[in-house]
């Protein structure tokens, strides 16, 4: 066993070993004292509850004796006036009660110590009916007296003559008087005492009895009240105070069904034990402190000081001060060796820090350039896509009667839309792969998705003269998914298969239903994958080795995006390959959806001139890209609108003053002043103060959009423009009559 070379370490270890048993005994003793205090409190509390219940039972027993004696008076049922006088005399001698009375079998009170204005009928009182049915003394539940107008309990006793119940005597006890029978029960501050009837209604309470009469006992006490546990239980009241509650029945079952409940705050019960524990802990802390001080100062001060110097040096190095050194002389002993190692480590870290800072600066610059490049790339790619998209729409509107041209225009528009989506994915690939894409899910037929994806990928198959085999069933393959995103998934799988399959190769697409799943398999006889590539093929930027006949390349994003999108749809995507040159297979499994399939994006009628209301708008198109400006103008003119085109902001302002356009399409990146500044100037002109301003730009970031809206734009379109959205906007703005 290695020996301890530090004196301080040896002393501290010895102190810890010596104090550990003491600390354990202190904790154990404290726990036992607390448990003992709780046990003693339970016994005393139950005894107090039984005493309070006995006192109240004695008062109720007195009432039963009075009623029994009254029931034996022969003339009680004969003369109502004499009966009332007798009961009034008894009431004056028993101040605990507020009324005595006689109830006939029909419920009418014919004799009462307290006179009432009219006839009182108590046939609905449960205690009255029970006294007749059970032929015995009954202590009723809480009631508010109809005659006396006070909180009471009614104690009833049947009058039996010749074996038959002739009437029922009752004594109404004031709950304020009932409460005095437990006044001799001493309760500590924060304690509570209830007496509740069989229905859980409070008939006595300390403290503050008057405000509690007739109210239900707190809900947290009801389960325990129903069982009346013989041992007090710990519960938290409605005031948030944790108390130990004891339950005791008031008298035997033939006396009452009342229960006395007493609760004492738990903190008060364990207060003494807690104080003893605190004293013991303080003593233990003091003992440990003195022992550690002795161990500390009993060591070699020189060793302690030198070790502290080393610790301070290490802390400064850890905080980033790599030029810190120990300043110690290196001698032939352990601490000097540690100091030498610490200084050498600081020197090495200082050199590494310089190298790391240089590398970090280089990475930050590269990342900044990458972001700037991607933003500019998206802008420059969207600019040529905008005139292509608008031109396709113009062709479609101008040659709607020519199926071939209309079909070609639809294909162009669809491919432009797909290209736009790829640009968006390239700019925010991390968002897609982390599952932050918003899906527009609806019932779809997966067969239609496959057909649209094949249409996108077909040019690649054709260029490589590959054979595509489709095994698609006749029955619908229903799924609940985003049409565009699912087309993107299948198209990525088809493009991947085409890229990694040689010329004249074979690609097979099979679609089938398997119980609650719909399964899509894209298989090829291409170059295949090694096992290690199969394991990571869905990672970002992962690609197989390029070959001379595979010039299509790619960024390694397609499969990663596909898998993420499938997962977001609640499905799975897996890859399989028997090895190099054995082909590959990708299997998509999605939950089957029986919801009737609605018309997909391809089946809806395209919005066109028919969707626009009669009339025309005066439009101004401002874009330094001549093709984009002219194609947008052609699209607007095809819809019957009057269009003026400007390629610079100064030209736009002149046209605005001359023609007062109602709708202005402004490019943001203009050569003289940007579109945001132009929008502000147009808002300042009386001719265009109320015009609709639409931003048309290749920048699609959120901050760019917010900046343009703040400049006064009403709408924000990212190139290429969504023509359906544009047509909808035109339909809203077009006046009903030509101006």
Rounded to 5°, angle at Cα 570 from 567 and 576: 50
Check residue 456 and give its pLDDT: 85
**For residues 505 and 268, which has the higher predicted lDDT (pLDDT)?**
505
Average pLDDT over residues 402-420: 68
Q: How many CB atoms lie within 10 A of CB 202?
A: 22
For residue 239, pLDDT over 50 is answered with: yes
Check residue 605 and give its pLDDT: 37
For residue 691, pLDDT over 90 is answered with: yes
Record the tokens describing residue 309, joined without a space.
């110097």
For residue 547, pLDDT over 50 is answered with: no
For residue 651, pLDDT over 50 is answered with: yes
Confidence of residue 591 (pLDDT cuts 50, 70, 90): very high
Sheet holding 164-174, edge to edge: 109-112, 97-104, 164-174, 151-161, 138-144
Q: Which helix (H) or strand (E) holds 192?
A: strand 192-196
Determine the straight-line distance between the first and last CA of the chain, rounded to whole angstroms: 103
C-alpha to C-alpha distance for 154 and 527, rounded to whole angstroms: 97
For residue 383, pLDDT over 70 is answered with: no
Tell me the pLDDT tens digit for each residue of 454-490: 988 888 888 889 999 999 999 999 999 999 889 989 9
Record the tokens describing residue 323, joined without a space.
């030029």
Separation of CA 335 from chain center: 55
Check residue 550 and give its pLDDT: 42
Of 109-113, 575-579, 647-651, 718-722, which range is least confident?
A: 718-722
Check: CB of residue 579 under 8 Å from CB of residue 528: yes
For residue 606, pLDDT over 50 is answered with: no
Q: How many CB atoms lie within 10 A of CB 53?
A: 24
Check: CB of residue 669 under 8 Å from CB of residue 624: yes
Average pLDDT over residues 78-84: 85
Residue for token digits 């797909």? 418
| Total H helices, total E strands in the chain | 20, 22
Share of the chain above pLDDT 90, in %: 30
For residue 643, pLDDT over 90 is answered with: yes
Pairing of strands 233-236, 202-206: unpaired
Average pLDDT over residues 548-564: 64
**For residues 507 and 174, which has the higher predicted lDDT (pLDDT)?**
507
Confidence of residue 393 (pLDDT cuts 50, 70, 90): low
**For residues 523 and 125, which has the higher predicted lDDT (pLDDT)?**
523
Check residue 301 and give its pLDDT: 57
For residue 414, pLDDT over 80 is answered with: no
Average pLDDT over residues 350-371: 76
For residue 303, pLDDT over 80 is answered with: no
Q: Which of 21-30, 275-284, 507-516 has the highest mean pLDDT?
A: 507-516
Check residue 380 and give its pLDDT: 65
Check residue 2 and give its pLDDT: 42
- Which parts of 417-477 are beta strand (E)? 441-445, 467-471
Sequence-distant (≥ 6) Cβ neighbours of residue 250 within 8 angstroms: 53, 56, 57, 60, 195, 256, 258, 259, 260
Q: What is the DSSP string of 292-309?
A: HHHHHHHS-HHHHHHHHH
Average pLDDT over residues 154-172: 91
For residue 607, pLDDT over 60 is answered with: no
Pairing of strands 618-622, 584-591: unpaired
C-alpha to C-alpha distance for 519 and 572, rounded to whole angstroms: 10
Check residue 690 and give its pLDDT: 94
For residue 676, pLDDT over 90 is answered with: yes
**For residues 275 and 516, which has the higher predicted lDDT (pLDDT)?**
516
For residue 603, pLDDT over 50 is answered with: no
Check residue 682 and give its pLDDT: 95
Alpha-carbon torsion (403, 409, 411, 413), positive or negative: negative
Share of the chain above pLDDT 70, in %: 82
Residue 692: half-sphere exposure toward Cβ, Cα within 13 Å: 16
Residue for token digits 């001549």? 626
Sequence-distant (≥ 6) Cβ neighbours of residue 58 within 8 angstroms: 181
Q: Which of 5-14, 304-313, 349-358, 494-503 has the highest mean pLDDT?
A: 494-503
Q: How many CB atoms lie within 10 A of CB 520?
A: 28
Environment class of residue 1 by beta-carbon count within 10 Å: exposed (0-12), middle (13-18) or buried (19+)? exposed
Check residue 614 and give its pLDDT: 46
**For residues 634 and 329, which has the higher predicted lDDT (pLDDT)?**
634
Of 282-296, 597-611, 630-644, which range is least confident?
A: 597-611
Average pLDDT over residues 105-127: 86
208 secondary structure, DSSP code: S
For residue 407, pLDDT over 70 is answered with: no
Tell me the pLDDT tens digit for each residue of 498-521: 999 999 999 999 999 999 999 999
Check residue 320 and give its pLDDT: 76
Q: What are phi and psi of 500, to 5 degrees?
A: -100, 20
- Which parts of 48-94 are beta strand (E)? none
What residues does 573 pair with on adjacent strands?
588
Confidence of residue 713 (pLDDT cuts 50, 70, 90): very high
Average pLDDT over residues 73-94: 87
Q: Share the mean pLDDT of the chain.
A: 82
C-alpha to C-alpha distance for 544 and 527, rounded to whole angstroms: 9
Residue for token digits 């009954």? 138
Average pLDDT over residues 68-76: 86
């Amino acid at each position: 066993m290695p020996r301890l070379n530090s004196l301080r370490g040896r002393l501290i270890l010895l102190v810890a070993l010596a104090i550990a048993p003491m600390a354990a005994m202190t904790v154990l003793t404290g726990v036992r004292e607390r448990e003992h205090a709780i046990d003693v409190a339970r016994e005393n509390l139950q005894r107090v509850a039984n005493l309070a219940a006995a006192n109240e039972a004695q008062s109720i027993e007195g009432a039963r004796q009075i009623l029994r004696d009254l029931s034996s008076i022969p003339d009680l049922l004969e003369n109502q006036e004499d009966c009332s006088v007798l009961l009034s005399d008894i009431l004056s001698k028993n101040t605990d009660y507020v009324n005595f009375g006689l109830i006939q079998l029909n419920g009418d009170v014919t004799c009462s110590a307290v006179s009432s204005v009219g006839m009182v009928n108590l046939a609905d009182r449960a205690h009255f009916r029970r006294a007749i049915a059970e032929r015995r003394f009954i202590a009723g539940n809480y009631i508010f007296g109809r005659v006396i107008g006070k909180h009471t309990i009614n104690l009833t006793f049947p009058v039996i003559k010749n074996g038959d119940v002739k009437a029922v005597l009752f004594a109404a006890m004031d709950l304020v008087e009932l409460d005095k029978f437990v006044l001799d029960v001493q309760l500590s501050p924060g304690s509570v005492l209830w007496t509740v009837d069989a229905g859980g209604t409070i008939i006595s309470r300390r403290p503050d009895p008057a405000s509690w009469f007739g109210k239900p006992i707190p809900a947290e006490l009801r389960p325990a009240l129903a069982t009346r546990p013989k041992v007090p239980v710990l519960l938290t009241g409605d005031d948030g105070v944790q108390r130990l509650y004891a339950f005791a029945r008031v008298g035997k079952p033939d006396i009452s069904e009342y229960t006395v409940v007493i609760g004492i705050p738990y903190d008060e019960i364990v207060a003494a034990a807690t104080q003893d524990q605190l004293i013991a802990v303080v003593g233990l802390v003091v003992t440990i402190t003195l022992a550690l001080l002795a161990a500390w100062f009993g060591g070699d001060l020189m060793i302690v000081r030198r070790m502290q110097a080393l610790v301070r040096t290490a802390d400064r190095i850890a905080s980033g001060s790599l030029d810190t050194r120990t300043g110690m002389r290196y001698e032939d002993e352990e601490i000097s060796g540690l100091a030498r190692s610490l200084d050498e480590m600081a020197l090495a870290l200082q050199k590494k820090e310089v190298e790391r800072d240089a590398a970090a600066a280089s990475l930050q610059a590269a990342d900044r350039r990458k972001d700037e490049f991607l933003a500019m790339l998206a802008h420059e790619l969207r600019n040529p896509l905008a005139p292509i998209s608008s031109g396709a729409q113009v062709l479609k509107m101008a040659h709607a009667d020519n199926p071939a041209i209309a079909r070609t225009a639809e294909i162009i528009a669809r491919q432009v839309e797909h290209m736009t989506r790829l640009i968006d994915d390239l700019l925010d690939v991390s968002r897609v792969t982390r599952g932050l894409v918003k899906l527009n899910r609806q019932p779809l037929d997966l067969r239609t998705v496959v057909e649209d994806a094949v249409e996108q990928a077909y040019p690649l198959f054709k260029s490589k003269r590959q054979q595509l085999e489709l095994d698609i069933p006749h029955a619908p393959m229903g799924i609940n998914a985003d049409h565009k995103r699912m087309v993107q998934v299948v198209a990525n799988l088809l493009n991947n298969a085409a890229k990694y399959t040689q010329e004249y190769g074979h690609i097979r697409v099979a679609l089938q239903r398997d119980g609650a799943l719909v399964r899509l398999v894209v298989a090829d006889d291409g170059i295949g994958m090694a096992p290690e590539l199969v394991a990571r093929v869905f990672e970002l930027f992962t690609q197989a080795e390029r070959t001379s006949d595979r010039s299509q390349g790619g960024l390694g994003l397609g499969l990663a995006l596909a898998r993420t999108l499938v997962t977001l749809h609640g499905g799975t995507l897996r890859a399989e390959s028997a090895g190099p040159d054995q082909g590959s297979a990708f299997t998509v499994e999605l939950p089957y959806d029986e919801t009737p399939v609605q018309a997909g994006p391809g089946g809806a009628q395209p919005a066109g001139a028919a969707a626009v209301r009669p009339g025309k708008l005066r439009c101004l198109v401002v874009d330094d890209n001549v093709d984009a400006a002219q194609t947008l103008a052609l699209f607007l003119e095809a819809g019957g609108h009057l269009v003026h085109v400007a390629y610079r902001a100064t030209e736009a302002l002149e046209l605005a003053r001359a023609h007062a356009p109602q709708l202005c399409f402004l490019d943001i990146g203009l050569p003289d002043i940007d579109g945001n500044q132009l929008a502000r100037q147009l808002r300042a002109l009386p001719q265009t103060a109320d015009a609709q301003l639409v931003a048309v730009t290749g920048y699609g970031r959120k901050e760019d959009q917010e900046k343009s809206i703040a400049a006064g734009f009403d709408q924000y379109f990212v190139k290429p423009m969504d023509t359906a959205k544009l047509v909808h906007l035109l339909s809203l703005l077009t006046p009903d009559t030509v101006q």
